[in-house]
């Protein structure tokens, strides 16, 4: 019996018979021969070069076979396999069919060990199940066998010793081989098995080939079924082995903890942060996670390094405690500074948030006072008078960063390697002027990608949110620049935590935040058209000047006729006009129409204002939640008043005392209404609408409502038109905007 090939019949060679006769039935004959032999001459004593282990096991072959077999019965199949490879004597004994009971006994030492495959003996099965060497090149560490092919292959031999059955479909013998399927669902067969089948196939004739095909089908079915059982057993053994190793690691860790506790490190060990296994520093230490039992000798060797490790853990604990004290002091700092910020309402400039002002030198100095000093809101009283200058310095830094961003966009080749490089040069006077212009339109990359539903419209599905124009200095208040998505922090920090905004946290201003902004060339052209409509010069007009203009803009592309010569037209302030152009017309150019005084009066009526469905209305925030963890995203006016009543019991809220907005003084720009224009509907357009209405009525009564009235059809048609307009996306470009 051979683990590589089936046993062959025949007499042993002479040398083999002589070596077989060497194993005596009883060891007493060998012992008597050594006693009666003549004494040998003494050799000079020399220093041993080793531990004298060479040949120590040679006596195992002279013991009685029943004793040898009794010893072997306690071994596992892999041990028997390894033993059969040590000497020819062992191989002769263990591969003899009459001694098959040795392998059977070894099989019982492995729980649920599968039976052999139909074409395998015990040695071959043991090699497949336990030996991790490649069957072709004998490369070690081939952990996973292929149970269907009954081989273990390394990565290299997998590519050279397996063939794709689909590319070799013309060869009829390939289909007779056992086939396995990889992750790409390719059928693969072992080349040696294919060659063996080919050799046998060529020796067969017509009827014999047909019988052989039937035999191979039955054989492949038996192999496939048994392979499933073997794979399940192998996976169970893998899991049990992993658990066994983990148990050894746990025991080693417990022993090390016991040893460290004897040295006085017990309390420190208890304060090591505990979490998942991968987060446990002690369990993941290279000297702790080894799957080897801890002995006194091992402990003596690793003791110095483990003590050094505990010293680091102690220092880490002290650092955590110190940082926790500093973090806890941020709450009174926020309480004091947010009160000062509230006293400055309404704001005309951007204000720093907790991550920014807690890093200002004067505030940070108080936060980092010795741990035994008590800190409350009054501790920051001395800082309050100096906050205006600190805030001004902070704004100047942001201003310079924006100027550098603008120069970078103009140069189109500036890539700062560090935040300090953003301010390395003084901006040109032209850049300073350009930053204030209404034609300098920034857009947010994060909003455009749809990754941040905290944009100014606070609607992640709003197309306008993705292309909303941002102007200086309002762009500095854009939420994406001061919010972090999915923060990985676990320790509470009042300066950054936002309990009401899921998966979000505050973030301090850095040069890298501005990388989220870019200059939108198409938005620039749209703004130039708006500015010219308002009779201003695009080369000098600012956003503040536009917001002060009492201007209405009527869209000639969205006309609906109530009468033959009267059309209902949507009209907007300039900010809502921009929004309408983006959402409804895919940013295409529009020849905006002016309103007469009568039409302006009509647009200002309450009923007309309520008729609109789109708005860029101002958003409001709660003063009482400012800079605190309970701060939410801005509300519309009705919602912020409801929040003040429910959360703060404020029944009569006041602007800039209980709630505030960052977009004040833009009442004209945010308007949206409708007005009547004297526009005649063309005969062709009216006829087309009647035909479309008739077709819709037929389809509506056929598929939706058979007994629909004319009013039902009209309402359904209007709803269809609205849904069609809302879902329109231009196919000229991937993002719905054509060039």
How far, in Å, CA of 533 to CA of 522, rounded? 17
694's tokens: 């008739």
DSSP label at residue 493? -
Which pLDDT score, from 0 to 100, does residue 486 have? 73
For residues 353 and 43, the model is more confident at 353
657's tokens: 């005392």
Q: Give the number of other Cβ atoms within 10 Å of residue 106's Cβ.
A: 23
The pLDDT tens digits for 198-235 are 999 999 988 999 999 999 999 999 999 999 999 999 99
Question: Residue 153: exposed, middle, or buried by beta-carbon count in 10 A (0-12, 13-18, 19+)?
Answer: buried
How far, in Å, CA of 551 to CA of 600, rounded? 9
> How large is the average pLDDT for residues 719-730?
54
Q: Which of 108-117, 542-551, 659-668 has the lowest mean pLDDT?
A: 659-668
Which pLDDT score, from 0 to 100, does residue 637 have? 86
Which pLDDT score, from 0 to 100, does residue 214 have? 93
Contacts 24+ apart (CB under 8 A), 333-336: 333/357, 333/358, 333/363, 333/366, 333/367, 333/377, 333/380, 334/358, 334/494, 334/495, 334/627, 334/628, 335/377, 336/377, 336/378, 336/380, 336/381, 336/383, 336/384
Could you give the 3-state DSSP secondary structure of residue 620?
strand
Bridge partners of residue 442, in order along the sequence? 470, 519
For residues 268 and 714, the model is more confident at 268
**Confidence label for 729 from pLDDT (cuts 50, 70 and 90):** very low
The pLDDT tens digits for 368-388 are 999 999 999 999 999 999 999
**Confidence label for 54 from pLDDT (cuts 50, 70 and 90):** low
262's tokens: 């004897």
Nearest to 248 by CA among 302, 288, 284: 288
The pLDDT tens digits for 228-245 are 999 999 999 999 999 999
Backbone torsions φ then ψ of 542, nearest 5 degrees: -110, 165
235's tokens: 């996976």
> How large is the average pLDDT for residues 15-44?
40
pLDDT above 70 for 557:
yes
**Confidence label for 449 from pLDDT (cuts 50, 70 and 90):** low
Question: Residue 717: exposed, middle, or buried by beta-carbon count in 10 A (0-12, 13-18, 19+)?
Answer: middle
pLDDT above 90 for 113:
yes
How far, in Å, CA of 513 to CA of 404, rounded? 13
The pLDDT tens digits for 526-552 are 999 999 999 999 999 998 899 888 899
Task: Kindly state the percentage of the chain with pLDDT values over 70.
Answer: 79
Q: Which of 306-310, 360-364, 389-393, 684-688 has the lowest mean pLDDT?
A: 684-688
Contact assessment for residue 402 and residue 481, using Cβ atoms and an 8 Å cutoff: no
Burial track 74-102 (b if 16+ CB lie within 10 A, e otherwise): ebbbbebbebbeeeebbbbbbbeeebeeb
User: Which residues 6+ apart lie within 8 Å of 511 measured at CB?
Assistant: 401, 416, 418, 419, 422
DSSP 505-525: EE----GGGGGGEEE-HHHHH
496's tokens: 């950054």
pLDDT above 90 for 556:
no
For 628-706, where are the E strands, in sequence order?
659-661, 672-677
142's tokens: 């081939």
β-bridge pairing 162-164 and 659-661: unpaired
> How large is the average pLDDT for residues 573-577?
87
Nearest to 663 by CA among 637, 644, 641: 637
Q: Give the number of other Cβ atoms within 10 Å of residue 621's Cβ.
A: 18
For residues 411 and 622, the model is more confident at 622
Q: What is the pTM of this model?
A: 0.65
Contact assessment for residue 146 and residue 180, using Cβ atoms and an 8 Å cutoff: yes
The pLDDT tens digits for 378-428 are 999 999 999 999 999 999 999 998 888 888 776 654 444 444 444 446 778
Average pLDDT, the chain: 81
Which pLDDT score, from 0 to 100, does residue 27 have? 34
Report in angstroms the alpha-carbon separations of 401 from 357, 394, 474, 519, 701. 18, 11, 15, 15, 62
Question: Residue 399: exposed, middle, or buried by beta-carbon count in 10 A (0-12, 13-18, 19+)?
Answer: middle
């Amino acid at each position: 019996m051979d683990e590589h090939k089936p046993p062959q019949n025949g007499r042993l060679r002479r040398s083999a018979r002589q070596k077989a006769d060497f194993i005596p039935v009883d060891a007493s004959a060998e012992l008597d021969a050594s006693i009666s032999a003549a004494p040998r001459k003494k050799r000079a004593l020399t220093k041993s070069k080793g531990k004298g282990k060479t040949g120590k096991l040679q006596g195992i072959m002279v013991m009685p076979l029943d004793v040898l077999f009794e010893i072997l019965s306690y071994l596992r199949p892999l041990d028997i396999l390894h033993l059969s490879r040590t000497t020819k004597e062992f191989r002769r004994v263990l591969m003899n069919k009459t001694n098959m009971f040795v392998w059977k006994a070894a099989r019982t030492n492995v729980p649920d060990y599968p039976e052999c495959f139909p074409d395998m003996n015990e040695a071959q099965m043991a090699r497949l199940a336990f030996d991790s060497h490649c069957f072709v090149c004998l490369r070690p560490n081939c952990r996973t066998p292929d149970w269907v092919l009954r081989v273990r292959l390394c990565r290299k031999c997998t590519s050279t010793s397996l063939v794709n059955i689909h590319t070799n479909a013309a060869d009829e013998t390939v289909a007779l081989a056992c086939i396995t399927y990889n992750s790409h669902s390719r059928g693969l067969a072992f080349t040696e098995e294919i060659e063996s089948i080919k050799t046998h196939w060529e020796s067969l004739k017509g009827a014999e080939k047909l019988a052989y095909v039937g035999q191979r089908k039955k054989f492949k079915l038996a192999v496939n079924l048994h392979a499933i059982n073997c794979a399940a057993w192998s996976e169970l053994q893998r899991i049990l082995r992993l658990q066994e190793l983990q148990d050894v690691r746990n025991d080693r860790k417990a022993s090390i903890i016991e040893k460290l506790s004897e040295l006085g490190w017990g309390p420190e060990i208890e304060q090591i942060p505990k979490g998942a296994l991968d987060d446990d520093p002690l369990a993941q230490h290279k000297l702790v996670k080894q799957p080897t039992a801890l002995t006194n000798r091992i402990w003596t060797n690793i003791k110095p390094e483990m003590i050094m490790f505990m010293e680091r853990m102690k220092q880490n604990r002290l650092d955590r405690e110190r940082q926790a004290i500093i973090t806890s002091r941020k709450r009174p700092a926020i309480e004091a500074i947010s009160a000062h910020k509230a006293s400055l309402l309404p704001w005309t400039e951007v204000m720093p948030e907790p991550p920014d002002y807690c890093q200002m030198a004067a505030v940070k100095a108080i936060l980092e006072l010795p741990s035994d000093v008590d800190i409350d809101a009054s501790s920051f009283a001395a800082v309050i008078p100096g906050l205006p200058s600190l805030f001004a310095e902070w704004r100047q830094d942001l201003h310079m960063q924006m100027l550098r961003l603008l120069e970078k966009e103009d140069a189109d080749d500036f890539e700062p390697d560090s935040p300090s490089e953003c301010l390395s040069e003084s901006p040109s006077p032209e850049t300073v002027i350009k930053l204030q212009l209404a034609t300098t339109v920034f857009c947010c990359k994060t909003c455009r990608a749809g990754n941040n539903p905290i944009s100014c419209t606070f609607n992640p599905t709003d197309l306008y949110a993705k292309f909303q124009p941002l102007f200086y200095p309002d762009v500095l208040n854009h939420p994406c620049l001061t919010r972090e998505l999915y923060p990985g922090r676990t320790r509470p920090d009042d300066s950054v935590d936002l309990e009401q905004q899921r998966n979000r946290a505050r973030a301090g201003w850095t040069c890298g935040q501005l990388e989220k902004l870019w200059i939108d060339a198409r938005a620039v052209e749209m703004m130039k058209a708006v500015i010219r409509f308002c009779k201003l010069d695009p080369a000098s007009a600012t956003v503040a000047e536009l917001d002060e203009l009492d201007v209405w803009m009527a869209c000639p592309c969205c006309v609906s006729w109530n009468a033959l010569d009267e059309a209902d037209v949507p009209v907007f302030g300039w900010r809502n006009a921009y929004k309408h152009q983006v959402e409804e017309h895919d940013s295409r150019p529009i020849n905006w129409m002016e309103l007469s005084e009568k039409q302006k009066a009509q647009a200002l009526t309450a009923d007309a204002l309520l008729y609109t469905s789109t708005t860029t209305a101002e958003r409001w925030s709660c003063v009482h939640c400012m800079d605190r963890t309970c701060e939410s995203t801005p509300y519309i006016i009705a919602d912020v008043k409801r929040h003040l009543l429910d959360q703060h019991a404020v029944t009569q809220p006041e602007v800039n005392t209980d709630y505030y907005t960052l977009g004040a003084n833009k009442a004209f720009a945010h308007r949206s209404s409708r007005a009547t224009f004297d526009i005649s509907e063309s005969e062709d357009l009216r006829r087309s609408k009647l035909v479309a209405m008739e077709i819709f009525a037929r389809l509506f009564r056929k598929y939706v409502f058979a007994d629909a009235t004319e009013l039902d059809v009209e309402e359904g048609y209007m709803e269809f038109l609205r849904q069609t307009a809302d879902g329109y996306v231009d196919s000229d470009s991937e993002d719905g905007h054509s060039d």
